[in-house]
Amino acid sequence: MDQPVRELSYAQAIHEAMAIAMEEDDRVFLMGEDIGVYGGAFQVTGDLVARFGEGRVMDTPISELGGAGVAVGAALTGMRPIFEFQFSDFATLAMEQIVNQAAKLRYMLGGAVSVPLVMRFPSGSGTGAAAQHSQSLEAWFAHVPGLKVIQPSNPHDAKGMLLAAIDDPDPVMIFEHKLLYKTKGPVPEGRYTVPIGKAEIARAGRDLTIVATSIMVGKSLEAAETLAAEGIDVEVVDLRTLRPMDTATIIESVKRTSRLMCVYEGVKTLGLGAEISAMIAESEAFDYLDARIVRLGGAEAPLPYNPDLEKAAVPQVGDILSEARRLVQGKI
């Protein structure tokens, strides 16, 4: 029987997923700065402390490294912690626990232990939070074997992928773009999961493949509608998972369209687009290309505070339109 579907915001979908997991499993608990009575920096945890108590919705001191260490230790004992960073930028303070402990312990101990840990990272630009609070660092984490890295682009996937992450025996890093929290979309009631490691064709097309992540999926879809009126049929691949990456879906899409553009907010150099481009160059899809691959990523600069400069530092719909036109028209 199909589950009823409602319109929820991205933040509400995440909140609902955490509540479902906590109701089902006493091992699931939340940690983070100001996630209790305050409800989280972006009000995602909301009333969960009132529903489940301070023993399961735990405000942590202002020490990301210490909190992450507690979360890793709790996961090693069989608990299922969900650790929220106020901003993804603050993960830089906890890299020792994330990269050297959580990611490696299963391997170093020969599979004798698992680290069922979820870390949530509000990320990205657009809120005027300036250089130290607006970065997109997901490619850093995707570089590390042992971590799974996901970027839901809509409320449906935010709920389903979070529930899948909580079920997963390995550490999962969830990057949630801050501008997506208020966006709304259809979300089924109750439990469902969206598989980690599987991309989605958000829009089918024949002339160009755009592989996009997070907020760039919506921008790419908006651009695709404009381009359709011009006779350019764009296929949009919502990557959803950075690691493990669904390379098969990308390869098959590029074989159909013969053109590829990667759109992501992180800095262009050594970013997600570089990995996708190299993967295609090494695959059978390379022989199908009719044009060179385009990477459309963030500027080679810290994120500005000024709103106009901030927008100029990351891809916008207009940038996607102009690059797509040039690519399909053979001007690149």
Q: What is the CA radius of gyration of the chain?
A: 20
262 within domain boundaries: yes
205 in the same domain as 139? no
183 and 233 both lie in a single domain? no
Q: Would residue 133 show up in a list of annotated catalytic residues for this protein?
A: yes
Is 195 contained in some domain? no
Predicted TM-score (pTM) of this structure: 0.95
pLDDT, mean of residues 81-88 = 97
Q: Is the dihedral of CA 95, 302, 121, 224 positive or negative?
A: negative
DSSP category for residue 330: T
Q: Tell me which residue range forms the domain holding 217.
A: 200-328
Domain match, 167 and 298 both: no
Tokens of 253: 């899409």
Last residue in a domain, options 153, 188, 223: 188
> According to the model, what pLDDT value does residue 5 have?
82
pLDDT one-digit tens code per residue, 272-318: 999 999 999 999 999 999 999 999 999 999 999 999 999 999 999 99
Q: Which of 161, 188, 215 is the last residue of a domain?
A: 188
Give yes or no: residues 32 and 146 share one domain: yes
> DSSP letters of 246-310?
-HHHHHHHHHHHS-EEEEEEEESTTSHHHHHHHHHHTSGGGGG-SS--EEEEE-SSPPPSSHHHH
Do 179 and 218 lie in a common domain? no
Q: Is there a single domain that holds both residue 176 and residue 256?
A: no
State whether 232 and 100 are in the same domain: no
- Return the pLDDT at 1: 55
* Residue 68: C-alpha distances to residues 39, 91, 210, 271, 282 (Å): 19, 9, 35, 25, 37
Residues 241 and 184 in one domain: no
Q: What is the mean pLDDT of residues 205-229?
A: 98
- Give catalytic status of residue 156 as yes or no: no
**228 and 320 both lie in a single domain:** yes
Give residue-wise pLDDT tens across range 108-149: 999 999 999 999 999 999 999 999 999 999 999 999 999 999
Same domain for 49 and 169, yes or no, is yes
Which one is catalytic: 15, 133, 156, 177? 133
Indicate whether 216 belongs to any domain. Answer: yes
56 and 171 housed in the same domain? yes
Give the CATH number of the domain where residue 304 resides: 3.40.50.920
How many folded domains does the chain comprise? 2
Residues 43-78: tens digit of each pLDDT: 999 999 999 999 999 999 999 999 999 999 999 999
According to the model, what pLDDT value does residue 4 have?
85
User: Which is the catalytic residue, given 16, 33, 64, 235?
Assistant: 64
Q: Which of 275, 205, 277, 271 is nearest to 237 (CA)?
A: 205
